[in-house]
Amino acid sequence: MTALIVTGTDTGVGKTIVSAGLTAALGAQYWKPVQSGREDITDSRVVAELSGQPVLPEAYLLDMPASPHLSAENMGVEIDLDRLALPQIDDLLVVEGAGGVMVPLTRRVYYLDLFARWRAPVILVARTALGTINHTTLSLMALRSAGCPVVGVVFVGMAEPDVEETIVQMSNIAHLGRLDMIGDLSRETLSQAFRAIDMTAIRGAL
């Protein structure tokens, strides 16, 4: 089994949409280890609908839309890292984190610690909006300092060539492509949008 980790610079940057596109393009299975907040549609359901691929059940399905450690505390549970070992399956597995790299799973452990334990290749999803140079650079520094192999960055939003190039050049990281905002999101429109993503580079890292 080979895993590909998808994380982001922040919450709401488009990780789930990127994960769905990767899951479909790679013919992979998908896993969201910890889902915080299930008032609306879960990320697993979104990926299942957009990718048409198998989705593994969450290890933790938490009620409150908040950082996993707060949502777990709200339910009177503590997240056990042993339950978050990568599932052993025969296929490629796309694994989506929650929020950003430094989101706490407990009051002692960040998602970054889990990524470092997994030692699987990581794709970072970043907005192209104002502030992305700082957030993306800090996230890349954290991942690299923890020994995580970073494949590159997928940008989401309107084209900002100078900003994107600054990040790529100063962080010495691969630009894996950019997704425009998809107004009418469906399996078909996501597949079309994903033509802008460098799947050759991604497959080469697996």
pLDDT one-digit tens code per residue, 95-129 = 999 889 999 999 999 999 999 999 999 999 999 99
pLDDT one-digit tens code per residue, 45-62 = 999 999 999 999 999 999
Beta-strand pair 93-100/60-62: unpaired
15, 17, 22, 32: the catalytic one is 32
Whether 15 is a known active-site residue: answer no
* Three-state DSSP state, 131: coil
- pTM exceeds 0.75, yes or no: yes
CATH number of 3-204: 3.40.50.300
Which residues neighbour 80 within 8 Å (Cβ) at sequence distance 6 or greater?
A: none
> What letter would DSSP give residue 134?
H
In the numeric block, which tokens belong to residue 140?
């890349």
Residue-level pLDDT at 1 = 65
Secondary structure element (H or E) that encloses residue 137, with its range: helix 132-145
Please give the full DSSP string across 18-73, using - where no structure is assigned: HHHHHHHHHT-EEE-SEEE--SS--HHHHHHHHH-S-BPPPSEEESSSS-HHHHHH
Of the candidates 179, 203, 200, 183, the residue with the CA atom closest to the CA atom of residue 20: 179
Judge whether 39 and 65 are in contact, CB under 8 Å. Answer: yes
Residue-level pLDDT at 176 = 98
Judge whether 3 and 28 are in contact, CB under 8 Å. Answer: no
